[in-house]
């Protein structure tokens, strides 16, 4: 895979350098740790902090979610690798306004360990209250009986959006964490992988599929999915992804959802809108109302080919949080 | 190339269906022509209309540029093919408020012909004044002595932004067209292609390059560039692209520019920010101030690999237009 990079060991730091230089009014890097990025402008007095983070390679996640009404800070790991506790703790100190910080991250062993350690350090050494919220929206990664084993993928966007809006509205630490957890509970994602991504340092494919083969439920880092098979048409793929979600999270006529059709990297917006078209048809047939739609690259796996569908079953409070204004460097660039 | 599509002949219409369903508060399709999309909300009384269009396959261009403060309407062609006059005329009729419409499109034979014919029809049959603005920002596609032969690529984003803001501020037809033309005159783009895209109907690559080869100046539809060579590091590529632009458009210490580092489809945001990092370094060294940065997929060639760099040399008026608020479905999705 041809890549526009310099030394493969420098991709994350050079990306961050470019990011900070591109959006100096919106984000800044901490002097204390070059992998800690926080919102550049002053946030509201007494606001609860929202901190996210994870491995790189999922851009715009997670770095791109930092902004007013979204996350206040992010700890940036190496590609597909959790950030260590240090950048998490430094970002925590920078964004805490005295009312504590909510950590939101995906359900991966490294993130669980590092965000957990960082929370202990922040509480013991800095006297900052921390709430941990683990996202596990990926239906394919474990059965509903073992939901606690499921990985976090694109649904983290909605969890961050709801928590960020709640914090901006002045919710307490516990309330922001509760909103984030409830959003996670009401969110499901199913994806399909078509073509692999290539880690810059090895330039090896993250998995292999035959020509004209797809894998349902393939993980964000190339983890095995639930089923390999011949590549189907977009409508059939969308049918399968939505059906798996609805089988896992019962919804009723009249429910309102937020929908995210997310590209994994190299899949075109044309294809994503074709998939969305079918998702809308299926939901309309079941009387489920799409309250808001998101179509594009929100959480990628480098240049992986494929997409995921995320549904969040909204309640009245989540609707008001989804509606709230937000501003992030990787969006709203007009 | 594996694609998430249904019948390859339906990709454009199904994409539009999905697009309209995804963003019903922002865009609507005309009943008179299914390839005409206009802004959904009522625009300002007496506002000059801004109409764009071109082939599909460049998403978010051009469909994604329709919104308040940007274009009022778009005519959507088949993949890499100009729209015929009919959808252009229908969109013109829908967006005209009595003060005329500015057409903005790239310098391609099909677009020149079809937008020209549409303008004649609109003027003769509908009594709507039309101004034509042809974008030709691609430095690689002809020498500076033959600038009128140059193609339009990613720079159309800035031309549309400036014209859309001017129209929203109440500029006259002539004034909006002048702003658009001046933006075009002050805009240059240079790109590099790494990997081809595949047309859905043939699934053939748009060009061929050897493993580890790149092509400087490769066109938006796979048109030949100015030089093939071994893939270089991101910094060297950025150096070359920016140098070619500065050789073509003299800039001075203290000038302010808008920068767009645009992905062609499958190139990751990580790479685009690494390229941006170097662009910023080069401009800083020359005392050129980056007033505003855009990094992401603004004008693609399906899943082509590579990027382009666009610089617009801003004056005071263009700064105020770049700063103006805008809202489009394919951006600002938070």
Contact call for residues B260 and B280 (beta carbons, < 8 A): no
Please, which residues have CB within 8 angstroms of residue B46's CB and are 6 or more apart in sequence?
B97, B98, B99, B170
Tell if the CB–CB gap between B234 and A331 is shorter than 8 Å.
no
- Does residue A332 register a pLDDT over 90? no
Cβ count within 10 A of residue A208: 10
User: Which is catalytic among the residues A23, A35, A47, A58?
Assistant: A58
pLDDT at position A306 is: 98
Residue A241, SS3 per DSSP: helix
DSSP state of B150: P
Three-state DSSP class for residue B137: coil
Pairing of strands A49-56, A101-106: parallel
pLDDT < 70: residue spans in chain B:
331-334
- B215 and B138 share one domain: no
Nearest alpha carbon to residue A177 among A161, A193, A186, A166: A166
Mean local confidence (pLDDT), A11-15: 98
We report the CATH number of the domain holding residue A250 as 3.30.1180.20
Judge if B56 and B79 occupy the same domain: yes
Backbone angles phi, psi at B81, to 5 degrees: -135, 140
Paired tokens of A70? 């979204």
Q: Say if CB B40 and CB B18 are below 8 A apart.
A: no
- Classify residue A210: in a domain, yes or no: yes
Residue of B22, B235, B273 with shortest CB distance to A295: B22
HEC-encoded secondary structure of A50-91: EEEEEEECCCCCCHHHECECCECEEEEEEECCCCCHHHHHHH
Give SS3 for B206: coil
Nearest CA in chain A to B325: A334
Answer yes or no: is B70 within a domain. yes
Q: What pLDDT score was predicted for residue A284?
A: 98
Of B160, B186, B212, the domain-final residue:
B186
Q: What is the pLDDT of residues A227-269, one digit of tens each?
A: 999 999 999 999 999 999 999 999 999 999 999 999 999 999 9
Nearest chain B alpha carbon to A67: B334
Give the range of the structural domain holding residue A262, as residue numbers without chain letter.
188-321
Token output for B142: 């002809």
| CB nearest B18 (choices: A21, A267, A277) | A277
Residues of chain B with Cβ-Cβ distance to A289 below 8 Å are none
ipTM, two decimals: 0.98
pLDDT-based confidence at A220, cuts 50/70/90? confident
**B259 and B296 belong to one structural domain:** yes
- List the end-to-end C-alpha distance of chain B, in Å, as a whole number: 31
Same structural domain, B263 and B281: yes
* Maximum Cα–Cα distance across chain B: 55
- Residue A16 and residue A78 in one domain: yes
pLDDT at position B334 is: 45
pLDDT of residue A331 exceeding 80: no
Final residue before a domain boundary, out of B167, B186, B205: B186
Q: Is A221 a catalytic residue?
A: yes
Does some domain include residue A73?
yes
Burial of B252 (0-12, 13-18, 19+ CB in 10 A): exposed
- Are residues B179 and B168 in contact, defined by beta-carbon separation less than 8 angstroms? no
Question: Please, which pLDDT band fits residue A283 given cuts at 50, 70 and 90?
Answer: very high
pLDDT above 90 covers a percentage of chain A that reads: 96
Q: Is the Cβ–Cβ distance between B37 and B26 less than 8 Å?
A: no
Angstrom distance (rounded) from CA B125 to CA B89: 10
Rounded CA separation A74/A77 (Å): 10
In terms of C-beta density within 10 A (0-12 exposed, 13-18 middle, 19 or more buried), how is residue B56 classed? buried
First to last CA, chain A: 31
A contacts of B59 (beta carbons < 8 Å)? 268-270, 273
Say yes or no for a CB contact (<8 Å) between B277 and A195.
Answer: no
Tell me the shortest Cα–Cα distance from B66 to chain A, in angstroms: 12
Given A4, A212, A306, which is nearest B267 (Cβ)? A4
Nearest residue, CB atoms, A15 vs list B192, B274, B290:
B274
The pLDDT of residue B242 is: 98
Contact criterion met (CB < 8 Å) for A4 and B328: no
- What digits encode the pLDDT tens for the residues A43-81? 999 999 999 999 999 999 999 999 999 999 999 999 999
Q: Which of A161, A188, A221, A278 is catalytic?
A: A221
In-domain check, residue A332: no
Shared-domain flag, residues B210 and B230? yes
Report the 10 Å Cβ neighbour count for B241: 29
Q: How far is the C-alpha of A112 from the C-alpha of A133, rounded, in Å?
A: 10
Same structural domain, A180 and A215: no
Task: Answer whether residue B3 is part of any domain.
Answer: no
| CATH value at residue B133 | 3.40.50.10440
> What confidence tens digit (pLDDT) does each residue in A81-121 have?
999 999 999 999 999 999 999 999 999 999 999 999 999 99
CA dist B159 to A297, B130, B170, Å? 25, 17, 17
Contact at CB, B331 and A333, closer than 8 angstroms = yes
Nearest to A140 by CA among A279, A229, A245, A294: A245
Three-state secondary-structure class, residue B120: helix
Q: Say if B66 falls within a structural domain.
A: yes
Token pair listed for B301: 């060639």
Q: Which residues of B are catalytic?
A: 58, 221
Closest to B16 (Cα-Cα) out of B33, B3, B4: B33
On whether both A208 and A160 belong to a single domain, the answer is: no
Contact B4 A277 (CB under 8 A): no
Q: Note the pLDDT of residue A334.
A: 44
Q: Are residues B165 and B199 in the same domain?
A: no
Mutate one of A22, A77, A300, A331 to test the B interface: name it (highest B CB count within 10 A): A22
Out of B186, B203, B238, pick the residue that ends a domain: B186
B54 CB neighbour count, 10 Å cutoff: 30
Planar angle of CA A206, A207, A211, nearest 5 degrees: 130
CA gap B165, B318 in Å, rounded: 9
| Residue A330 pLDDT level (bands cut at 50, 70, 90) | confident
| A326 located within any domain | no
Structural domains in chain B (count): 2
Same structural domain, A160 and A203: no
Residue contact A21–B280, C-beta within 8 A: yes
Cα separation, B152 vs A198, whole angstroms = 32
Non-local (6+) Cβ contacts of B130 within 8 A are B92, B100, B101, B102, B103, B118, B119, B122, B123
Q: Are A130 and A261 members of one domain?
A: no
User: Which positions in chain B touch A327 (Cβ < 8 Å)?
Assistant: 334
Give the neighbor-by-neighbor strand order of the sheet with A36-39. Answer: A27-29, A36-39, A73-79, A49-56, A101-106, A130-135
The answer to whether residues B180 and B194 belong to one domain is no
B108 three-class SS: coil
Residue A163 pLDDT more than 80? yes
What is the average pLDDT score of chain A? 96
Residue B324 forms part of a structural domain: no
Size of interface A-B (CB pairs under 8 A): 202
Burial of B163 by CB count in 10 Å (0-12 exposed, 13-18 middle, 19+ buried)?
buried
């Amino acid at each position: 895979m041809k890549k526009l990079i310099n030394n493969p060991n420098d991709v994350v730091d050079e990306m961050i350098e470019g990011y900070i230089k591109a959006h100096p009014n919106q984000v800044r890097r901490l002097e204390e740790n070059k992998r800690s990025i926080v919102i550049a402008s002053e946030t509201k007095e007494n606001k609860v902090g929202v901190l996210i983070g994870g491995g790189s390679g999922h851009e715009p996640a997670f770095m791109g979610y930092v902004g007013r009404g979204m996350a206040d800070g992010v700890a940036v790991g190496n590609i597909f690798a959790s950030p260590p506790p240090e950048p998490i703790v430094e970002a925590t100190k920078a964004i805490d306004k005295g009312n504590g910080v909510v950590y939101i991250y995906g359900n991966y062993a490294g993130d669980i360990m590092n965000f957990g350690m960082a929370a202990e350090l922040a509480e013991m050494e800095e006297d900052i209250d921390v709430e941990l919220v683990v996202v596990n929206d990926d239906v394919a990664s474990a059965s509903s009986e073992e939901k606690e084993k499921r990985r976090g993928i694109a649904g983290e966007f909605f969890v961050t959006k709801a928590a960020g809006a709640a914090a901006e509205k002045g919710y307490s630490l516990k309330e922001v964490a509760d909103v984030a957890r409830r959003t996670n509970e009401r969110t499901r994602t199913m994806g399909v992988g078509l073509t692999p991504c290539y880690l810059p340092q090895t330039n090896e494919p993250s998995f292999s599929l035959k020509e004209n083969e797809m894998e349902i439920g393939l993980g964000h880092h190339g983890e095995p999915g639930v089923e390999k098979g011949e590549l189907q048409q977009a409508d059939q793929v969308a049918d399968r992804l939505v059906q798996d979600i609805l089988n896992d999270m019962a919804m009723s006529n009249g429910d309102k959802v937020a929908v995210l059709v997310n590209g994994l990297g190299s899949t075109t917006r044309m294809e994503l809108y074709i998939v969305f078209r079918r998702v809308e048809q299926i939901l309309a047939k079941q009387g489920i109302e799409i309250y808001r739609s998101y179509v594009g690259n929100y959480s990628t796996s480098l240049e992986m080919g494929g997409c995921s569908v995320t549904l969040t079953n909204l309640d009245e409070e989540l609707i008001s949080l989804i509606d709230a204004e937000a501003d992030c460097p990787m969006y709203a660039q007009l």
